[in-house]
Every structure is written in C-alpha cells, then in structure tokens.
Amino acid sequence: MGDVRGVSVPSPPGRRARLSAAVTSRLSSAAREELRRRLLGLIEGHRVVIFSKSYCPHSTRVKELFSSLGVECNILELDQVDDGVSVQEVLSELTNQRTVPNIFVNKVHVGGCDRTFQAHQSGLLQKLLQDDPAYDYDLIVIGGGSGGLSCAQEAAVLGRKVLVLDFVVPSPQGTSWGLGGTCVNVGCIPKKLMHQAALLGQALTDSRKFGWEYSQQVKHNWGTMTEAIQNHIGSLNWGYRLSLREKTVAYINSYGEFVEHHKIKATNGKGQETCYTAAKFVVATGERPRYLGIQGDKEYCITSDDLFSLPYCPGTTLVVGASYVALECAGFLAGLGLEVTVMVRSVLLRGFDQEMAERVGSYMEQQGVRFLRKFVPVVVQQLEKGSPGKLKVVAKSTEGPETIEGVYNTVLLAIGRDSCTKKMGLEKIGVKINEKSGKIPVNDVEQTNVPYVYAVGDVLEGKPELTPIAVQAGKLLARRLFGGRLEKCDYVNVPTVVFTPLEYGCCGYSEERAVEVYQKENLEVYHTLFWPLEWTVACRDNNTCYAKIICNKLDDDRVIGFHVLGPNAGEIIQGFAAAMKCGLTKQLLDDTIGIHPTCAEVFTTLQVTKASGLDITQKGC
Amino acid sequence: MHQAALLGGMMRDAPRYGWEMAQPALHSWRKMAEAVQNHVKSLNWGHRVQLQDRKVKYFNFKASFVNKHTVCGVLKGGKEILLSAEHIVIATGGRPRYPTHIEGAVEYGITSDDLFWLKESPGKTLVVGASYVALECAGFLTGLGLDATIMIRSIPLRAFDQQMASLVTEHMAVHGTRILKGCMPLRVEKLPDGQLQVTWVDLASDRRDMGTFDTVLWATGRVPETRSLNLEKAGVHTDPHTQKILVDAQDATSVPHIYAIGDVAEGRPELTPTAVMAGRLLAKRLCGRSSDLMDYDNVPTTVFTPLEYGCVGLSEEAAVALHGEEGVEVYHAYYKPLEFTVPERDASQCYIKMVCLRNPPQLVLGLHFLGPNAGEVTQGFALALKCGASYEQVMRTVGIHPTCAEEVSKLRISKRSGLDPTVTGCG
C-alpha cells in the first residue's frame, strides 16, 4: 500500500487523499476494477477533487481558483504517484477526458481548467459547491463594524445564509455602544461632527468680519452637542439593524469565540452560550484603544471610546499621544474653548509626512493647544472626584531624569490601538496572528492561514485602518466568495485625511518614504503656501495653508505623493486621489484649469520646487 | 459675499452644535462691504505692484486703435498718447448688459458691477436674469437675510446640465429666494417714497403683475467691451451677433499680430482661470518659449449658489447628443452631508451624477456635484477626467470618510436601472 503524495494547496490535516496499492501501468482487469472503485470512492468522499500534475500551469490556475474561493481541495498529483499513468487511464474511461486538471465537485465531473473557469463565471461552480454538509450558516461574520457589515450584507444579497455576531465589551470606564463598529460609534462620525462644532466656533469669530453682529457672549454647551451627536449615532445604529433585517442577515448581540473547526460559541450579555457552525468565517473585530499600563490609567483616564458620549464637559484636558486620534481630539476640544495640553513621546503623526505633521502641530499651537514634547506619563492620581474631577499627572522626560506634574480635569489616552484578536479562540482552529501586534496576516484575497477563515478591517496586518477600505474589502470578499467575481481590494494610493483644526489630506508617499524608495535625486517636490480667499477678509494668517506634491522624475514626473493642509482638505483630495489612480503627472496638473476661487486650484499652478529654495510665502495686505 | 452668507447658515447651525447665542445674529451690509472692498483694493494694489516688479508699464487710460500697430490712449485731462507695438493683446473683457428697451432699466437699475460696491444694503431686491451671476447674487442676498426675488424668462443656467440647474433653483426656493419663472419685466418706475415699482408679464398666461423693490439688479448677460476700441481701424473682425472678437486656436484675430483672450474672445468660456492660462500660454508662444495651445476641453467650473454646483466635462444632454441615449450611462446619488444631520438641514438637493460612456471601461465624460464645497470637490475630479478616468477607476478609488466627495467614489446606481439613488448609511 503506498501513500499518494501531493496536496500542496491548503488542506487541513487528516484529509489527504489516499489511494492504495502500487499498480503497474499494464493493469489486469481486476486491478483496473479495483482502481476504478478507489477513484470513485475518492470522488464521492470529498467535496472537491482535483486530478493534477504538479508542473501543469492549468492545474495551478484551478488550484488557485479554489483557494481564492476558500474551498479545500483534495489534490492528486499524477506525476508524483507511482500509479499515475493508470489513474489517468481509468479517469479517461470514467470521464472521457484524458487531460489534467480533471475536476470533480460534489461528485459532479466539472471538466478541465477552461470548463471550471466557465462554471465559475456562470455561477454553476458555486451552485455545485453549495451542496455542503449541514452547517448552520454559509458565513458567520464576527464583528459588526464597517468591514463586517458590508461583507455580511453583500453575502446576503448574493443569496447566502449569514450571521453577524457583534458585542461591545464595555470600556474600563463602562462605555459601550450599538451596532456599527468604531467608525459610527466612537470614530469617524462623532469625531467629524465635533470637529464641525469646533469649526463653527471659528466661523462665529470670522462672521463678525463678514458683517454679522451678535452679542459678545457665546459659550459652548457640551451637553447639547453630545446629545445631538449621540442621537444621530442612535439613528445610524437603528439603520444598520434595519438594513440587516431587510437583507435577512441574522444578527446576534453576542461575543464570538471559536471552539473547534467551523464552530463558534456566542455568549450574550447574560452569559448564555449558543454554538453555531458555518462553512466560512470572517473576522472583523477591529481594534480598541490601548492603555499605558501605569498606575491609575484604567481607573481615571478616558479614551476615545468614552469621549464622544461623555455626559459632562471634560474641562481642562491632557491628551496623551500624537496619533491622528490624539491630535484630532485635542484640536476640537481646544476649538470648543477648552484648555488642552498634548503630551508627545516622540514625533507627531508617525508614518505621515513629517513636514506636514509639524505644520499641523504648529497650527494647533497657534490655536492655543499646548504641546509637551518628549514626556511620558508615569502616574495618574485622583485629587478630586466629580464630573469632571481633578487628576494629577506625573510625567517623566524621555531624555533625562526630569519629571513634571500637572493637574487636569480629564486625561484622554490616544497612544494607539490594539487588535481584538486575543480572546476569540483563534488558536483553537490554528489561525495565525502576529503575536506582538495581535494583527492577522492575510494573503491578497484576505484569507488567513486557515482557508475558510478570512479577515477584513483594522485587524489586518499591514493594511490601512480606514473605514472605506474595510467597506470595500468586505464587499469584494463577499463577491469573490459567493458571487463568482475575482476583483481584489486595491490598497494602493489610498487617500486619507486628518481632521485637525486645519485639515491635512494626503495620498501616496510621504516625502521621507518617497526619498527612501526612489532616492532624492530622482524626485522633484513642488510646494507652496496659500491663503484661502475666505481667510483674507477674516484676517486669518496668510502663510499657514500649504500644498505639496512629490513627483518621480524618472517616470514622466508622475505624482507619487500629494499633500494638502488647509480647510476642506478631505473634499479637496478625493478627486486628486482618483486622478492618481489614473496616472496623474505634473504636466497634467499644469494643463488643468483651476476652479476660481477655491483652495484646490492651487495644485494647478504649482511652480516652485523645494530644491530651488525659492520663497513660497504669500504677501498679504 | 457668498462666504458671508454661508457664515449666516453656519450661525444658524451653531446652536444645534452646542454654541449658545443670546440672540440671533443680524447682518451689517456696511461692515461686510467695507471688508470685502478693502480686500479687493488690496488685490488691485497687488496687481499694480506685480506689474511694476516685472517692469510692465501700466497706463490708466481708455485705449482705441489708430491702425494695425498703434493704439491711442486718452488721459484724464484729455491729452492723447500714441503707443505702437509689434504684438497687441486685447483683453478688455465684458460688462453687464442693461436691457435698454425696458423703460426705467438704466435710470433705476444696477448691475453686478455696482452691487459689490454698494455702501448700504440693497434691501428688498429683484434680480433679473438666469445666468450664474443672477443666481449667485440672489442666493447670497437671501443668505444675508434680505428679501430677494429672481425673475427668469426661460431656463436657468443655460448650457449647464439642466437637471442640475433645476435642482439649484429648487434649493434656492427652499432656501427662501422667491423665484418668478417664465416672467419678463416690462418697466421700472420710481415711487414717491423712493421704492422701485416693477411691472412684469407672465409669458405663459400673458398676465401682468407688479411688485415694489428697493433695488433692481440686471444680470441678463454681459456685453464684450469692443465697441469703443475702433477695431475696424486695425481690421480686427468681430462676430456681428455677439460683438465678440473672432479668434483662431492661437488666439490670433483676423489680424495675425493682434490677439484676443478672455471674455472678449468669441467662443471662449467666460472664466478667470481660463483667461489666466490662455494669457500665460500666449505670452510663452509670443516669446517662442513653447508652442502649447490652450485646451478648452473639460474646463471645470463652479457656480457659488447657496448650495454650490460644480461640474466638469459634458452635461447629460450634451453626452446624449454626442453618443446617443444608448451609448451613455449615468450614475447618480442623492446623499446627505454628515454636517447636515445634527442641525437637521434639508439635503433634498444634494445630488451627484457622473456621465459615462456605456461601453466598458466606461470613460467618464462629465461629473456634476451639487453640495457644500463643490469647487473643492470638483477640482481633483477635473484632473481625473484629464487623465482619462474610467468609471471603474473612480470606483476603485478609496473614499475619504466622512466627506461629501467620497460619495463620488461610491456611485453605484445607474439611472437606467431605475433604482432609488438615495444613499443610506455609511456603507
């Protein structure tokens, strides 16, 4: 009895195709009957069987197709088994097909490579695959955020039976929220609305210059704002539930944890447990704010998880961290009239273009935000209880023995986020995670090392943590799994915006990264300061807003980095990002007519290169 | 002034965002006008300084041609100066047209040339016309709290996409501007109390009606400033109908060394940035530094009505005329800007449509965006069109969340499908 080798494509242990008896190519009729019986047994006993040759490119394509569909295959490499020639003979009797690959799905002979791809295109293949063992669901999505919901809904639209498990573990301060994930509840949406509230404060100041007259006393009421924002969020939560119901996606407000292959345990708020099985799983559990691990942090500090629904005005606030979350929160709190300090361990906006990051910071400083550079908190103590109370923060220098103390009403930690991948039984089914970051590595079709488990959103290793990316990735994943589509999520040239008091938008490379990749001498950087028309009459500073593009001289001056610091940066950069997708060059920028008067038009008239060292300041009145 | 009006809207939003204002704000035209005028004067000054810096000689006089190479300028005292040049560029632009056939129009009416320089509030205003100038002026006057009416003879924003144009006016009506469609003014009279009484006719019913206003603003179009130039002495031809100067692709007039750029040239879009670029390219060609011609295709523009309308490329009508109904696919969406949610602003007219060729890869022919910051949104997409963007490429661009512009990268519903194009939720 000889083992049949092969099985190079993902396949769980113990499910290897086995054939017995080394047979010579010249078969007796008894031996032939025996082999025929064994082949049929193989075909009947497995969902997908591929008869293949290890060097055959067509076979490889078919294997990749099934792999991209997340389907386990039993593969018999005819060139790697002793009786390969006989197998091929018997197969040709069985199927009238002599060539490899030769594919069977749920006992049905699909054919060769072309026929399989045709079946995939027409949806036949998916239909054949569907007749599956009795799992409760075709797909279980763990995590009801942007990525998870978009994947679940798309799968349901494609006719699949889908379950979403979503459970928010309360923050150490006791905050929790509804369906929709970080973006809707404690991220983009409330952040942008509070940013807008702060911008309106600025508008009130500007409006006097534009002739509006009102009594001097304008105060901000935190309660009115948060209530309005929370009401909006509540309506979004409700909208998501409605939309799931409309698309017949089952939704359970329970915590999901893998217990064995294809099986998950869902624990609800009352501790009741129920188990569900599914053919496929998507992990979309996202991230939660990180704590410092110092005395008093979990007891007294809040994070962005708590801030947006804080029932009282935070008062004098220390923001710890220099991530975009830190700077955005510090920015709008200052804009609402609060005294704000930001404690920064090293650099602002790590990973972003550092020139831009410093400009973001210096505008915030102008707006009254205080920065404490090169300090980290070591102890947080409560001096007084209250709403808000009083906290004493001791911090030490990162460069020496110096320590400082400060008293604040609120301490907001924004030092980073950790993936929610640790307590969900991934190890039980063998899904690999990055032990250090907790992130899940996936291939270019969002598949983990366990073929039927996928991941989307912020839990992914090395992918941008952005809502629209998660939405896109989730939707495309569902279409590949259940819709016969092949399109992959495109993570190149993803635009993003930091909603600091002066917004910063970028797409493509930072200047540092561009220099690393392309070398300084191969790049040309064009830049200018600009003065938005709306700022002129309002007498706001004329040398603050800044535009910069990085061009690759070796490639037709193609724009590989695009940066704008100014009002409405988010609205500005979207179209340019689309243009970068289409191969934007400096020449095309020069040839395009500006829209007058806007900020965005500045990119059509960039003339000064950084290398020239020429003056870029704008002359005011 | 549009910005001043927008700020008014923001001040109405502010209390919903927690800003406690003791009483509603009132607007002082005088203060705004002074600030705006000061800025404009500083720009005038800046231009003069720039000319000086670059050693361009500047004369403040009205010029006219004497012959093909000579112009004559008349100084304030009446003294004449003759100047001759190898090349002459005409860039005299246009001025608002007065409907001289309407009784009282010239005596009692004003134009946009005057509006921005008024020291006192125009008060209750009738704006006559349907150009973008008319809509913009009526829009910001309404936004500043004034009673504004706009009288349109036939259709608003001719040559723009008409679905967008009607959404623009629909929003203005909701926003408080009174709109009289299909009406034409017949005469303007001054009443003893100083108010202006306007009589008009409703063209459909032929019924006459009257109303009183403090100001009547004519915005019925602009006439090129060519009549006093003595163009015939130089042999420069104009279009007999529009009075604009006929030019070729090189911006040359019928006299090869005389050029015309900007609003005065026939067939050019009346837009500042096109004039600027045309001027710059012309100068480079004259100096032999390049042979680049101005590309007038896909010129983006924005109408700064209360809800801004930005567009680039073809209107839906133009695309259908070129490629046929069957050759065009239009993707569209009604969306709600996030900032509108908290103050419960009505977003019924926030709308985007992308006009594409129907056959893959569905080249984008035109983009139309109605919503806040339309100018900022449209500029980048103008570049994308310049790069030959396809529908698929725009869809593959990751959105920036949460912005209005991201809705462009999420346009999934085609008009042909008949599905509801209203965006719900974030997904």
Residue with tokens 């939660």: A288
Encode pLDDT of A347-389 as tens digits: 999 999 999 999 999 999 999 999 999 999 999 999 999 999 9
CATH number of the domain to which B200 belongs: 3.50.50.60
Looking at the partner chain, which of A149, A217, A468 has a beta carbon nearest the beta carbon of B406?
A468
Q: Are residues B185 and B121 in the same domain?
A: yes
B-facing residues of A in 587-616 (CB < 8 A) are 588-589, 591-601, 603-604
Say yes or no for a CB contact (<8 Å) between A495 and B310.
Answer: no
- Pick the range with the lowest mean pLDDT from A47-51, A515-519, B159-163, B403-407: A47-51
Q: Are residues B176 and B285 in the same domain?
A: no
Is residue A16's pLDDT more than 50? no
Task: State which residues form the domain around B74.
Answer: 61-90+226-296
Q: How confident is the model at residue A122 (pLDDT cuts 50, 70, 90)?
A: confident
pLDDT at A222: 98
Is residue A17's pLDDT more than 60? no
B372 DSSP assignment: T
Q: Are residues B238 and B282 in the same domain?
A: yes
Closest CA of chain B from A389, distance in Å: 22
Whether residue A515 lies within 8 A of chain B, CB to CB, comes out as no
Q: Are residues B318 and B352 in the same domain?
A: yes
Q: Say if residue B337 is preceded by a cis peptide, omega within 30 of 0.
A: no
Q: How confident is the model at residue A80 (pLDDT cuts 50, 70, 90)?
A: confident
- The DSSP element (H or E) to which B340 belongs, if any, is helix B338-341
- Pick the range with the lowest mean pLDDT from A37-41, A429-433, B58-62, B73-77: A37-41
Looking at the partner chain, which of A211, A215, A493 has a beta carbon nearest the beta carbon of B28?
A211
pLDDT at A182: 96
**Whether B87 is catalytic:** no
Angle, nearest 10°, between helix axes A324-335 and A188-209? 40
Q: How confident is the model at residue A557 (pLDDT cuts 50, 70, 90)?
A: very high
Mean residue pLDDT across chain A: 91
Q: Are residues B41 and B27 in the same domain?
A: yes
pLDDT at A70: 82
Residue with tokens 């009446």: B78
Is there a domain that residue B174 lies in?
yes
Q: What is the mean pLDDT of residues A30-57?
A: 84
Q: Are residues B194 and B155 in the same domain?
A: yes
* Chain CA centroid to CA A200, Å: 30
Task: Say if residues A91 and A51 touch (Cβ distance below 8 Å).
Answer: yes
Q: How many domains does the structure of chain B reveal? A: 4
**Residue A540 dihedral angles phi and psi, to the nearest 5°:** -90, 165
For A224-242, letters b (16+ CB in 10 Å) and e give bbbebbbebbeebbebbbe
Q: How confident is the model at residue A473 (pLDDT cuts 50, 70, 90)?
A: very high
Q: Which of B204, B222, B240 is where one domain is finished?
A: B222
| Number of Cβ within a 10 Å radius of residue B423 | 19
Residues in chain B closer than 8 A to A470 (CB atoms): none
Is there a domain that residue B177 lies in?
yes
Say yes or no for a CB contact (<8 Å) between A495 and B300.
Answer: no
Task: Say if residues B228 and B62 touch (Cβ distance below 8 Å).
Answer: yes
Is there a domain that residue B422 lies in?
no
- Pick the range with the lowest mean pLDDT from A96-110, A178-192, A389-403, A433-447: A96-110
Q: How far apart are CA B191 and CA A111, in angstroms?
A: 92
Q: How confident is the model at residue A132 (pLDDT cuts 50, 70, 90)?
A: low
Is there a domain that residue B424 lies in?
no
Q: Are residues B163 and B235 in the same domain?
A: no
pTM comes to: 0.86
pLDDT at A105: 87
Q: Say if residue A388 is preceded by a cis peptide, omega within 30 of 0.
A: yes
* pLDDT: which is higher, A258 or B76: A258
Q: Which of B185, B204, B222 is where one domain is finished?
A: B222
Q: Are residues B231 and B84 in the same domain?
A: yes
| Blockwise average pLDDT, block size 10, chain B, 427 residues | 94 94 88 93 90 91 94 88 95 94 96 95 97 96 97 94 97 97 97 97 96 97 92 95 94 96 92 90 91 89 97 97 97 96 94 97 97 96 95 92 95 94 69
Q: 3-class DSSP state for residue A525?
A: strand
Q: How far apart are CA A519 and CA A560, in angstroms?
A: 13
Closest CA of chain B from A36, distance in Å: 48
Q: How far apart are CA A348 and CA B107, in angstroms?
A: 62
Q: Are residues B240 and B272 in the same domain?
A: yes
Burial class (CB in 10 A: 0-12, 13-18, 19+), B219: buried
Q: Are residues B273 and B369 in the same domain?
A: no
* Cβ-Cβ contacts under 8 Å for A101 (sequence gap 6 or more): A50, A51, A52, A53, A56, A58, A59, A62, A63, A112, A113, A116
Q: How confident is the model at residue A7 (pLDDT cuts 50, 70, 90)?
A: very low
Is there a domain that residue B192 lies in?
yes
Q: Are residues B182 and B113 in the same domain?
A: yes
Q: What percent of chain A has pLDDT over 90?
A: 74
Looking at the partner chain, which of A200, A214, A243 has a beta carbon nearest the beta carbon of B10?
A200
Is there a domain that residue B308 lies in?
yes
Q: How far apart are CA A286 and CA B365, in angstroms?
A: 39
State the complex-level ipTM: 0.91
**Minimum CA–CA partner of B145 in chain A:** A212
| Number of Cβ within a 10 Å radius of residue B131 | 21
pLDDT at A8: 39
Is there a domain that residue B269 lies in?
yes
Whether residue A242 lies within 8 A of chain B, CB to CB, comes out as no
- In a mutagenesis test of the B interface, which of A141, A184, A202, A210 is the best target, namely the one with the most B β-carbons within 10 Å? A210
Q: Are residues B148 and B233 in the same domain?
A: no
* Cβ-Cβ contacts under 8 Å for A307 (sequence gap 6 or more): A186, A314, A329, A412
Q: What is the mean pLDDT of residues A243-271?
A: 95
Is residue A24's pLDDT more than 70? no
Task: Say if residues A210 and A538 touch (Cβ distance below 8 Å).
Answer: yes
Q: How far apart are CA A181 and CA A187, in angstroms?
A: 9
Is there a domain that residue B427 lies in?
no
Whether residue A56 lies within 8 A of chain B, CB to CB, comes out as no
B327 DSSP assignment: G
Q: Which of B296, B311, B339 is where one domain is finished?
A: B296
